[in-house]
Amino acid sequence: EIVLTQSPTTIAASPGEKVTITCRASSSVSYMYWYQQKSGASPKLWIYDTSKLASGVPNRFSGSGSGTSYSLTINTMETEDAATYYCQQWSSTPPTFGAGTKLELK
């Protein structure tokens, strides 16, 4: 199965700061998907097809990458962005998730 390694595990950012979360795959994948999960809530689709924002996602978010290296970037951190972010692939079965990156407010 394809293993997804996210970094960092935890990051603290101040409002207005730029944040980048990286997801590396053990084998090449065609697309990467990202989810946001806030404490006590279900995950929400955040980015699909590597760079497309899900409905309602602010355009300060962006996704990029190819092959084995992908990233989620927040151009300017806002308080509501504090959450855990997971990457996910389904280029091969089973679909797998990264371990998550917890983004905290500094």
Partner 1 sequence: EVQLVESGGGLVQPGRSLKLSCVASGFTFSNYGMNWIRQAPGKGLEWVAYISSGSSYIYYAETVKGRFTISRDNAKNTLYLQMTSLRSEDTALYYCARSDYDGFYFDYWGQGVMVTVSS
Output 61 or 86, the one with its CB closest to partner 1: 86
- Binding site residues, partner 1, CB under 8 A: 31, 33, 35, 42-45, 48, 54, 86, 88, 90, 93-100
Output 65 or 100, the one with its CB closest to partner 1: 100
The residues that bridge with 104 in the sheet, in sequence order, are 12
Minimum distance between the CB of residue 74 and partner 1, rounded to whole angstroms? 20
Q: Which residue has the tokens 């407010």?
A: 105
| Cβ 21 vs Cβ 101: under 8 Å | yes
- Closest CA relative to residue 81, chosen from 22, 36, 20: 36
